Amino acid sequence: MSWHMNQNSLERRRLLKLAKEYRQQGYEVTINPSPEKLPSVLADCSLDLIAVNGKKVVAAEVRTKENLTLNGSEDLRRISKSLEKLPNWELELVITNERRKSC
């Protein structure tokens, strides 16, 4: 099953905010890129977002702490190893959690 099918609404909201932030910085952003839009070494990786600005490419993953610990570390290791093979690509991991209301 695809990781994106398990993405919760908090992660989705943060992903949309992250996409907006990258666009404001002049990046071309693709949310949930299809394997055809990725280099072959990343074709089996399910990325939340790619942001391109010239030669620099950021692959981003947005997770809650809970989803990060479920099965997230293994696929993040796989993504990281794949990105090592690609010059000018970097991984941004964004951890998001619900804010606790203060008294």
How far apart, in whole angstroms, are the C-alpha atoms of residue 97 and residue 63?
8
Q: Where are the domains of the chain?
A: 3-95
pLDDT at 4 over 60: no
Please say whether the beta carbons of 14 and 94 come within 8 A: yes
Q: Which tens digit of pLDDT belongs to each residue from 29-57?
A: 999 999 998 999 998 888 999 999 999 99
* Average pLDDT of the segment spanning 12-28: 97
- What is the dihedral sign for C-alpha 22, 90, 14, 6? positive
pLDDT at 75: 84
Does domain 3-95 fall under CATH 3.40.190.10? My reply is no
Report how far apart, in Å, the C-alpha atoms of 84 and of each of 44, 71, 102 are: 15, 21, 41
